[in-house]
């Protein structure tokens, strides 16, 4: 192990909150105007997880384990939204 050369800042999920709020508002508007019986899934974030992918022949499939990152579901136009920033303070020190 070696110490870090300098502090690093990571921008994580900067636009996701605004995207979910916008999608929730649009979902309510669509639900008010919809006449069908089947509802589409509400906007949400699918958690990151390991996923087994099957490939090859049906008689002898090859299983590959892949990591899937968090996935926005039913969220549109993320690039048009303003990022939401929240300050986070450290609770304590490690070591």
Which residue blocks in the chain are alpha helix, DSSP H?
Answer: 16-33
- The enclosing H or E element of 65 equals strand 61-68
Question: Is the predicted pLDDT of residue 85 greater than 80, yes or no?
Answer: no
Please indicate, yes or no, whether the overall pTM of this predicted structure exceeds 0.75. no
Q: How many residues does the chain have?
A: 95
**pLDDT tens track for 47-82:** 899 999 999 999 999 999 999 998 877 777 666 445
**pLDDT tens track for 24-49:** 777 677 666 666 666 666 667 788 99
């Amino acid at each position: 192990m070696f110490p870090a050369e300098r502090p690093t800042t990571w921008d994580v999920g900067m636009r996701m909150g605004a995207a979910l709020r916008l999608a929730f508002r649009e979902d309510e508007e669509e639900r008010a105007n919809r006449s069908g019986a089947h509802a589409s899934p509400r906007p949400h974030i699918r958690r990151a997880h390991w996923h087994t992918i099957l490939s090859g022949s049906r008689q002898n499939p090859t299983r590959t384990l892949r990591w899937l990152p968090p996935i926005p579901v039913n969220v549109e136009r993320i690039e048009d939204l303003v990022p939401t920033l929240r300050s986070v303070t450290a609770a304590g020190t490690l070591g």
